[in-house]
Amino acid sequence: MAAVLHIEIDQGTVWRRLVRLRTGTTESNQPLDLTGYQLHAQVRELWSAPAFKSVAIENLDPAGGSFELVLDDRQRELRRPDLLWDLLVVAPDGSVAKYLEGPVKVRFTVTRLP
């Protein structure tokens, strides 16, 4: 089962979150070696709706199992205040696992810059 990560972002800002994926039990919790893996994350209005925003994956450290999720400052596309997202991890053998999911809440900016 995927862990839940709530994303809250102010319209017009950049949102970043460092993520470390781990494998094993609590006692043997080791970083998931992401060498050769592909990471994909998208935002949608509904699970069945077409994706309209990809979440960028930056600063990947494959051996350490860490990377940054980034939503850039072009959230003008995110017109609804409540959206959904998830992160799929594709292993080198082609198997797919969903590691993270959750809601995306956009707090709209009232003030307009000239």
For the domain made up of 3-107, the CATH class stated in words is mainly beta
Place of tokens 């709209």: 108
pTM: 0.84
Give domain limits for the chain: 3-107
- The per-residue pLDDT string of the chain (114 residues; one tens digit each, 9 = 90 and over) reads 899 999 988 888 889 999 999 987 666 788 999 999 999 999 888 888 877 788 889 999 999 999 999 987 665 566 666 789 999 999 999 999 999 999 988 888 788 888
| Residue bearing tokens 């594709």 | 90
CA atoms in the 13 A half-sphere facing the CB of 96: 7
